[in-house]
Structure 1
Amino acid sequence: MQRPISSLPKAHLHLHFTGSMRHATLVELATERGVHLPQSLVEAWPPQLRATDERGWFRFQRLYDIARSVVREPGDVFRLLREAAEDDRAAGSGWLEIQIDPSGYASRFDGLTATLELVLEAARAAEDATGVGIGIMVAANRTRHPLDARVLARLAAQYAGRGVVSFGLNNDERRGRALDFERAFGIARRVGLLSTPHAGELEGSRSVRECLDSLEADRLGHGVRAIDDPYLVERIATQEVTLEVCPSSNVGLGVARELGHVPLRHLFDAGAPIALGADDPLLFGSRLVEQYEIARTVFGFTDPELAELARMSIRGSGAPETRKKELLAGVDAWLATPPAAPAS
């Protein structure tokens, strides 16, 4: 007698634009455009990944780049965002914060500004079609020069309050330290954008600490390696920095050997705010509902604890206050409804 997770209102804060693509959409677009897909993206999907070494990360990035290559027309952008919103609506998500580095598509869509405007227009259309609120996270690539990040931060700042809600930093932590991007994040923070860098995934507590100290992070993409330092976890809890924990992704990339090794329960019990995320469903094979199911079945989260996870995701989001209040009221209503008795 458990309440259905798909009807629990929640926010989805860790989803990459390219990685949000449905597998069927990838195969269809690749066929239309004559893009050859490796077996790991066709019959052997989802691929077996492990990115804890350079070779593994290169393979992960190669698959990601192949998937990006099928997105060539403005209609593809509209389709991906609509389908992502539809999938989130089915998962009970009322707010989706999807991240994109416009640099990855700028050559196809007439530059950085035109790319971001296309994404924002597609997000508005998806929101109108599904009712799921959508905010855009502009994310810089930590493997590129910090000057590139400043360009993206200035671009994001121009659209603060017009669909862009946060500024992130992604890619391999081992190849770019957070402190090198302090000026870019300063530009974003000055206009009220949330600071949402990746940290504590492939690197340990130093990566997390730098994001807190230099980038004044409001949220951390992943952040699970903070568990190596109890004082750091206490700081995260005290400062109410939301950790975007993605259990399936952590296992898929080798950050944890198996789901039970993801420190979700330990972080939650220590008071760290947590927002469960799917990261890249295209490559890891599972979406948002499955992450909550993992919390329930692997870590023994009760319905009141699942409700608190949902509340944490909503509070940590860049959603408008009216949307937050609506979703939080929905969480209370979900918990107040008795679970249905099993069918006889």
Structure 2
Amino acid sequence: MSGRRRELASLPKAHLHLHFTGSMRHGTLVELAARDGVHLPEALVADWPPRLSAADEKGWFRFQRLYDVARSVLRTPEDVRRLVLEAAEDDVADGGRWLEIQVDPSGYAARFGGITAFTDLVLDAVRDASARTGLGIAVLVAANRTRHPLDARTLARLAAQYAGRGVVGFGLSNDERRGTTSDFAPAFAIADRAGLLLAPHGGELAGPAHVHACVEELRAGRLGHGVRATEDPALLDRLVARGVAFEVCPVSNVALGVYSDLTSVPLPQLLEAGATVALGADDPLLFGSRLEGQYATMRAAHDLSDEQLAELARMSFQASRAPSDLVARALADIDTWLDPSPVSA
């Protein structure tokens, strides 16, 4: 390993696993809650970031309850615009060049005039934030697997209507131990016909069998998490051969009790198998760590070299739906990060 330790904030990155409400700054949450008299539990105030676990249904329920409380402070279009702008600013500060932010419009529809009106608002906020920060931003529409699969079809049709107009993918989130994955296949078929990236959550709370289901039944091209595929080397090899990418979120894996500590997150096994990996922050509001933090923790936990970190950054762009010219510039700048040209006198 090289003795030189380059600054991670200047390493160009694409961020492919960030949830909408979970991207909110903690200070913004507290401020908006105070404005409208929303009572925040101590886990989101004095005890922030909260101690979490998803080892059982009760633990996941607590996590989801905190997420729902946070969502409730978004009351106006200006709140939504502020959230998107601040998420963009934070990614830029962390070296972000491209962001794919994931949102379930049905979670906000009642307050913002329906799923179409809310999607229009988010996409307008994305355009504005991108213009103001220089960060490329796109949206993944995500269904909730705790809701009826017919709801997922409605969201897939919505996503398809916006394909090529700011929406680049379709996902499936919430507790992957709930519901039957195959029931969501018709929704993913709708998204697939529209040319959208298929990126369901799988292989975090549930093991290799669910990773297999996501790939075979939902035709996933990218996996939200997917880390537990390492428990089945033959499956992992098949995923690598198919080119399925992994959105790995180390800090949230540990916070939710999937792994006991950061050294147990199986990033080296994924890289050894030849997997395409993009590090993501998942829900910084609940886990207390943003994009640069994922690279920093994996550098420390696995003694990653700058060359390995640069390769992770390259893969984040290769797994993205970013425009080709943005990707080309970012890859060139990653090379410069590794081997900067001498500055002339």
> 1:260 is matched by which residue type in structure 2?
T
Residues 1:174 and 2:177 are matched in the alignment: yes
Q: Describe the superposition over 1:285-325 as per-residue Cα deviations: whole angstroms up to 9, x where unpaired.
A: 01010100112111111111101100111010111111111
Q: Which residue of 1 aligns with 2:87?
A: 84
CA–CA distance in structure 2, aligned partners of residues 150 and 235 of structure 1: 28
Residues 1:23 and 2:35 are matched in the alignment: no
Residues 1:69 and 2:72 are matched in the alignment: yes
> 2:161 is matched by which residue type in structure 1?
Q
> 1:13 is matched by which residue type in structure 2?
L
Structure 1 residue 178: Cα displacement:
2.1
Q: Describe the superposition over 1:180-226 as per-residue Cα deviations: whole angstroms up to 9, x where unpaired.
A: 11111111111111000000010001110011111111110000110
Q: Which residue of 2 aligns with 1:215?
A: 218
Residues 1:289 and 2:292 are matched in the alignment: yes
Pairwise CA RMSD: 1.2
Partner-residue secondary structure (3-state), 1:103: helix
CA–CA distance in structure 2, aligned partners of residues 209 and 177 of structure 1: 13
Q: Which residue of 1 aligns with 2:231?
A: 228
Partner-residue secondary structure (3-state), 1:135: strand
CA–CA distance in structure 1, aligned partners of residues 118 and 329 of structure 2: 31
Partner-residue secondary structure (3-state), 2:205: coil
Partner-residue secondary structure (3-state), 2:111: coil
Higher mean alpha-carbon deviation, 65-74 vs 292-301, is at 292-301
Structure 1 residue 338: Cα displacement:
7.8
Q: Which residue of 2 aligns with 1:45?
A: 48
| Change over 3 Å in CA distance of 1:181–1:211 after alignment to 2 | same
Q: Describe the superposition over 1:131-189 as per-residue Cα deviations: whole angstroms up to 9, x where unpaired.
A: 00001000000111111000000000000000000100000011123211111111111
Q: Which residue of 1 aligns with 2:145?
A: 142
Partner-residue secondary structure (3-state), 2:61: helix
Q: Which residue of 2 aligns with 1:95?
A: 98
Contact 1:135 1:164 survives alignment (8 Å): yes
Q: Which residue of 2 aligns with 1:265?
A: 268
> 1:328 is matched by which residue type in structure 2?
L
Q: Which residue of 1 aligns with 2:113?
A: 110
Paired residue total: 340
Structure 2 gaps of 5+ residues are: none
Normalising by structure 1, what TM-score? Answer: 0.97
CA–CA distance in structure 1, aligned partners of residues 332 and 191 of structure 2: 31
| Change over 3 Å in CA distance of 1:86–1:253 after alignment to 2 | same
> 1:11 is matched by which residue type in structure 2?
A
CA–CA distance in structure 1, aligned partners of residues 190 and 335 of structure 2: 37
CA–CA distance in structure 1, aligned partners of residues 191 and 129 of structure 2: 25
Work out which of the residue numbers 182, 187, 199 in structure 2 matches 1:184. 187
Contact 2:203 2:228 survives alignment (8 Å): yes
Q: Describe the superposition over 1:30-58 as per-residue Cα deviations: whole angstroms up to 9, x where unpaired.
A: 00010001111101100000011011011
Contact 2:262 2:298 survives alignment (8 Å): no
Q: Which residue of 2 aligns with 1:324?
A: 327
